[in-house]
Amino acid sequence: MNQGSFIDAIVWFIMLTILFYLNREIEIMRLVGEIEGYLRLYKAVRDKALATTLADFKSVISKKGVEGIDIKLVEKRIKDLVELVFISPTDLDPFGIVRKIKHLLLTSEKTLKKELKSFVPSASDAEIENTLNLLEATRALNFIYKVVNHIYMIGRKFKSLWILMQLDAQLPFITEEVRALEGAIEAFSKGLPVGDSVGPIVAASLIRKYCKQEEIIEEVENTIIAKGVFKNRIIYVIKAKGPGGTVGHLDDALEWVINNAGRVDAIITVDAALKLEGEETGSVAEGFGVAIGGIGVEKFNIEELATKHNVPLYAVLIKMSEEEALSVIDEKLYEGIEKAIANVERFIKTRTPENGIIAIIGVGNTIGVAP
């Protein structure tokens, strides 16, 4: 065998191995650089959110007078509340879990409201609700930053290309969510309606069209029920009570309507829905079932009520992206609102009996929307 070509082959082999190794190292460096860029972004957004939340609450305090308020203590408490955790009930034995979740949500909401109110006793409910919404968005941003940072640090510590690649692949979706929460911070600090408010806006429009001011009932906390007449049918429009940032207790309101009206012939829910990439913002889809997002407590309860009383469930969905749902409402969504109102009216005209009783539920956060 020719000596020269054998050494050449060995050298080639070593160089090839080194090249493969270097390629891997460069790939890790590229991933680390990219992830670090995103992490810096998430951190900047979280810090800004925390600053906005603090500034917002301080402005509420200064509006109502600072006497007797320890600003330092308030600041510390707000920072603690950002780290707050909700421990969901065990689903080892899922029977009755919805009631348990509802109990947890109700009591924790009440406690948080009470605590914030104790700092500024003269603050209005809307101001407290907006601060709570800001806190919630800040908490979510803080959690996202911490988790991404955790996975990144583990990946770096063990020099694992796979962990870093998996994290890198998730980043576009996480960034979408961070943008959405960032938009929410902006919207809630200004108190302007968000994309998710389309449900309450449809409800408020129907109330303005068909219900009288004196027929608005406030039997359920944070929720209004308006009675009106449309095409010889009695309609009950249910929405969260504006203009604070709240979603209300729609299931309790529906139960009240059924108990007081004796029966309901149809339940129509109107809500924002996530669009797929490529779908038009503000396009409207109709469906059957209960259109409600969130943990599912209200959805469960409304479905229970409908099944118990044998009531058909109709839904109207207004499509938008996650960012649009949480940011100040886009102009295109008003076209969706008009279409949704027309859909609700058509459902009532064609699908319900004359002299029937219909419950219409505008689902979503009613920030910046009256009544």
Partner 1 sequence: MSEEVLARMRRKFFPLYLIGLLASLIFLAHLVLNYIYTGKEQYLTLSMLTGLFSAYLAYSLAKLLRTKIPIYSYRKVVRCTQCGYEEEAEAKGGEILFENAGSCPKCGGEMIVQKIYRKKQLKGILG
Give contact residues for partner 1 (rule: CB under 8 A): 37, 40-41, 44-45, 175, 178-179, 182, 186, 189-193, 197, 201, 204-205, 208, 242-243, 327-331, 333-334, 368-371
Q: Which is nearer to partner 1, 255 or 338 (CB)?
A: 338
Helix, strand, or coil here: 42?
helix
Pick from 239, 194, 198: which is nearest to 336 by CA?
A: 198
Pick from 42, 148, 133, 124: which is nearest to 81 by CA?
A: 133
Tally Cβ neighbours within 10 Å of residue 189. Answer: 19
CB of 179 to partner 1, least distance (A): 6
**Residue 104: strand pairing partners:** none
Q: Which is nearer to partner 1, 44 or 106 (CB)?
A: 44
Q: Angle between the 250-261 and 297-309 helix axes, to the nearest 10 degrees?
A: 20
Contact 131, 60 (CB under 8 A): yes
CB of 350 to partner 1, least distance (A): 28
Q: Which is nearer to partner 1, 243 or 248 (CB)?
A: 243
Q: Which is nearer to partner 1, 206 or 315 (CB)?
A: 206
CB of 92 to partner 1, least distance (A): 40
H/E stretch holding 257: helix 250-261
Tell me the C-alpha distance between 68 and 270, whole Å: 45
Token output for 142: 């803080």
Q: How many angstroms separate the Cα of 104 from the Cα of each of 98, 99, 132? A: 10, 9, 16
Strands 284-288 and 357-362: unpaired
Q: Which is nearer to partner 1, 7 or 370 (CB)?
A: 370
CB of 40 to partner 1, least distance (A): 7
Q: Which is nearer to partner 1, 268 or 329 (CB)?
A: 329
CB of 130 to partner 1, least distance (A): 10
DSSP state of 351: H
